Amino acid sequence: MNITTITTIVSYPASAYVVRCCSKHERHSKQQPNNIMINGTTLRSSAVKVVESVVASTTLDHSVVTVNGNNNGQRQNIPTKKQLVDPHRQGLMVEGGVGYRQTIVIRSYEVGPDKTATLESILNLLQETALNHVWMSGLLGDGFGATHGMIRNDLIWVVSRMQVLIDYYPIWGEVVEIDTWVGASGKNGMRRDWLIKSQATGHIFARATSTWVMMNRKTRRLSKMPEEVRDELVPWFIEKQAIEEEAPEKIVKLNKQAKYMNSDLKPKRSDLDMNQHVNNVKYVRWMLETIPDHVLENHQLSGITLEYRRECGSADIVESLCEPEEDEMVSNLMEQHYNTSLLNGLSLASSSAAEIINGGGVLTCIDPIQRPIRYTHLLQTKGEKQNDEIVRGRTSWKRKLSTMHLPPNTICGM
């Protein structure tokens, strides 16, 4: 049966949305086959099966749950069954219906002075797409990403490790696609990965991976994964990794002799998330505030690894320690002669980036000695008797293209 145009009504409590597969006469270009159009907005799909599945299921069930005497459940319309298309967030299920893809436009408040997305914005987008993935799965209860089985067992998710590698930063107004999926991590953990890529070119901007474990909401102690929760999660696991890493590099613990320190940091009420502890993005902000100004002005962060030790509450006083992994003077001298981070911060949608990647002659002439600047970080609470670790971290920094002074004969053939 050949289908060129499919139309179905997706029912919601207060409104209706038209979801259809564009006919070949309605497609914008030959490079965009198998599109999904939602209320006039076209979303790219990796498989026609996604649309066919939507057509096969014309009614979307949503929960109406009363929580603590209020009607938050009715206001949120949390799905009780798996959904394949999200018209509100421009999201859809991929990877055979178990992965999630969301199309996002980089907004003005998500960029810094150089008009590129900030690290905090990228981390917030990773968190948002992860939660939207759970939302679409039909597993979400009234918790912060917790499933129905987790809520019955008073469990919440906490992240134990996270790594983000950024090759290029999206710019203001750029359209990106964020793919996310989950997999097993040992017996009691879950891995979540992300890919951020340009919708225009398909080039990958950033990769991220994380490991999550469960904590008892009342005792605040780590917990094993109950069988009923395992049964909920396992059907969603994918054996694919955004970042291949055989043996994670250990992050050493810093002491009071660290070169840079910022003390007496106090969480604000706005720093707390729905689980009543300091949000992960706030940790990163505290870490980056200890990076020297000359590094922040001339470099962009290309990688960050975080190892979480304990949660941070509203009553904690925090210290942020930072130590360069090598002598900064030596590193700066090396940069003057070996500037190889030529593309960092440059949008791949631009023609100049495409020329370089397609053999413009720059990358083949790069001296292999050059490497990014790296810093080790530690956030810890200040106590009367001892300081408790909150999170250890490592950041890598590459020179911004706009601040580089290229040595003679950097470009091949010149």
Element housing 152 (H / E)? helix 148-152
- Catalytic pick from 34, 275, 298, 387? 275
Contact criterion met (CB below 8 Å) for 332 and 372: no
* Helix, strand, or coil (residue 398): strand
- Catalytic pick from 62, 277, 299, 377? 277
Contact criterion met (CB below 8 Å) for 383 and 301: no
The answer to whether residue 312 is catalytic is yes
Element housing 189 (H / E)? strand 189-198
- Catalytic pick from 312, 322, 344, 377? 312
The answer to whether residue 280 is catalytic is no
Other Cβ atoms closer than 10 A to 263: 10
The answer to whether residue 28 is catalytic is no
Closest Cα to residue 223, out of 310, 161, 154, 275? 154
Query: How far apart, in whole angstroms, are the C-alpha atoms of residue 122 and residue 92?
Result: 20
Contact criterion met (CB below 8 Å) for 107 and 117: no
Query: How far apart, in whole angstroms, are the C-alpha atoms of residue 399 and residue 403?
Result: 7
DSSP 323-360: EESS-HHHHHHHHHH----TTTT--TTSHHHHHHHTT-
Catalytic residues: 275, 277, 312
